Every structure is written in structure tokens, then in C-alpha cells.
Amino acid sequence: MKNKKGWMRIIEAFIAVLIITGGVLVVLSKQNNLNSNSSEKIYEKQRYILDIVTNNESLRKAVIENQPNVVSDAILQMLPANFDFTIKICEISDICNTDTPHDREVYTSEVIVTSTIQQYQPRKLRFFVWVKG
């Protein structure tokens, strides 16, 4: 009889470990889903802002003429206050790197602005966004 009680305790302990592990996995998967949704929202906001920049003639001209301050001022008005950002305007063939925080998730989108009516100088606008901390 003592042997059966020992096995029952082992089975009970194993089931308890399975239940706890299952609960932890459920909590972690829900947390991962929340992070995924926030990433998608940030990328959507980035695309929205870049669409505005590419469709606005004066902002397009500022990108082509390599005037990042003009573009940054316009983006600053459109971006929510809890985000920080930087932009980089460069030639299409160049790699647009800039100083971004290494301790946060940085979301990057880019768009190519090809021309205005007066001139053809394609430029790449890279837009880096992160949550202020």
C-alpha cells in the first residue's frame, strides 16, 4: 500500500508542474501578442507619415534638396508625444545609418522620393522611431 501512495504523490506533483508550466506559457503568449500589436501600430503610423511626406509637394522638395530639418519639423507635428524619432536623407545607393538608441526597439521604414516637376534627384528617406524612455 505504501508504494501506491508514493506513485500517487509523484503523479500529483507531475500534474502540478504541468499546470504551472501551462499557465506560464499562456501568460507569455498573451504578452507576446500585445508586443506584436504595438509593433504593427507603430509601423502603420510610420507608413502613414511617410505617405504624407511623399504626397506633400513642399516636403518632397525638402527631401530632394536634402533639408532634414524641414522634414523633421513636419514629422514632429504628426508623431505622438510618447515617441522619439530621427530621419536620414541619403542617395538611393547609400546605406542610411544614423545614431539610434541601442537599449530600445527601433522601428525603421523608408521611402524613395524620386522627383519634383523641376528636378530629378532621387533620394531615400529613412525614418527611425522608438518609444521614449
80 conformational bin, left if phi > 0, alpha if psi -120 to 50, beta if neither: beta
Q: Give the tens place of pLDDT for each residue, 62-118.
A: 998 889 999 999 999 999 888 999 999 999 888 888 888 888 889 999 999 987 677
Cα(68)–Cα(122) distance, rounded to whole angstroms? 15
CB 52 within 8 A of CB 59: yes
Cα first-last separation, the chain = 61
Q: Give the tens place of pLDDT for each residue, 6-18.
A: 888 888 989 999 9
pLDDT for the residue 34: 54
pTM, 2 dp? 0.69
Q: Give the tens place of pLDDT for each residue, 32-57.
A: 655 656 888 889 999 999 999 999 98
